[in-house]
A = this chain, B = another copy of it.
Amino acid sequence: MNDEERKTVELFTEHLRLTPLDPEADAADLHAAYGDPDVTGPWLDEPASDGPEQTRERLAERLAPTGTRIWTVRRLEEDTALGLVELVGGGQVPWLGWMLRKSHWRQGIMSEAVTAVVEHVLLAEGVPMLEAWANASNTGSIRVAERAGLTERGRFAVPDAQAETGMREKVVLGRTGPGVWTAFHAVHILLPVRDVEATLAFLDSALGVTAGFRVGPPGAPARYASAKLWPWSNGPSLRLRATPRKPITPVTVLLDSAVPVAELYDRVVAAGGTTEGPPVREEWGDTEFCCVLPEGHRLEITGPA
Spell out A's residues near B (CB within 8 Å): 92-93, 129, 131, 133, 146, 151-157, 171-172, 174, 181-190, 207-210, 212, 228-236, 239, 249-259, 264, 303
Question: A132 to chain B: closest CB distance in Å?
Answer: 10
A96 to B45, CA, bound (A): 36
Contact of A253 among B183, B187, B249, B303 (CB under 8 A): B187
Are the CB atoms of A257 and B185 closer together than 8 Å?
Answer: yes
B contact residues around A239 at 8 Å (CB): 254
Which of B184, B189, B231, B258 lies in contact with A251, CB distance below 8 A?
A: B189
B contact residues around A154 at 8 Å (CB): 185-186, 232-235
Partner of A146, one of B129, B146, B234, B250: B146
* B155 and A152 within 8 A (CB): no
Instruction: Please tell me which one of the listed residues B151, B208, B229 contacts residue A152 in the complex, with CB atoms under 8 A apart.
Output: B151
Interchain CA distance A146-B172 in the complex, whole Å: 16
Q: Give every chain B residue within 8 A of A212 (Cβ-Cβ).
A: 92
The answer to whether A184 and B152 touch across the interface, beta carbons within 8 angstroms, is no
Residue pair B190, A253 in contact (C-beta under 8 Å): yes
A236 → B minimal CB distance (Å): 5
Cβ-defined contact, B152 with A256, below 8 A: no
Whether the Cβ atoms of A153 and B156 lie closer than 8 Å is no
B-side contacts of A209, CB under 8 Å = 183-184
Q: Are B181 and A259 in contact (CB under 8 A)?
A: yes
List, in ascending order, chain B residues with CB within 8 A of A234's CB.
Answer: 154-156, 172, 256
